[in-house]
Amino acid sequence: MTVEFGDGVTVRFDVGELRLACPCATCVGRRNAGESVAPPVERGETISVTDAALAGAFGINLDWSDGHRTGIYAWTYLRDAFDAGRLGTRIP
């Protein structure tokens, strides 16, 4: 997934990494408990986005091929993760 932020910075996010970084309450709780968030991805299997919808001006909601459908990826969440070096690759 490629995002161009308001300041002109364009970042490509790997969908597997995005799935593992899902910000929904269930996934955050699982990560905090040391549990698996996305077993197929953790096993090295391919995952894909099956649908995407804007969540107003706040972010984007992604539906995943593993059936997961909750979690809004806020634009600020994505940018903060990129700036911290946790997610994404800048595209010149």
CATH number of the domain encompassing residue 31? 3.30.2020.30
pTM (2 decimals)? 0.90
Within 10 angstroms of residue 55's Cβ, the number of other Cβ atoms is: 13
Q: How far apart are CA 6 and CA 23, in angstroms?
A: 21
Mean pLDDT of 54-80: 95
- The domain total for the chain is 1
Instruction: Kindly give, in sequence order, each residue whose CB lies less than 8 Å from that of residue 28, ignoring residues fewer than 6 positions away.
Output: 22
Instruction: Kindly give, in sequence order, each residue whose CB lies less than 8 Å from that of residue 7, ignoring residues fewer than 6 positions away.
Output: none
Q: How far apart are CA 32 and CA 46, in angstroms?
A: 24
pLDDT of residue 42: 87
pLDDT of residue 71: 86
Q: Has residue 66 got a pLDDT over 90?
A: yes
pLDDT of residue 40: 84
Within 10 angstroms of residue 16's Cβ, the number of other Cβ atoms is: 17
Domain extent, residue 37, equals 2-91
> Could you give the percent of the chain with pLDDT greater than 70?
100
Q: Is the dihedral of CA 74, 69, 12, 43 positive or negative?
A: positive
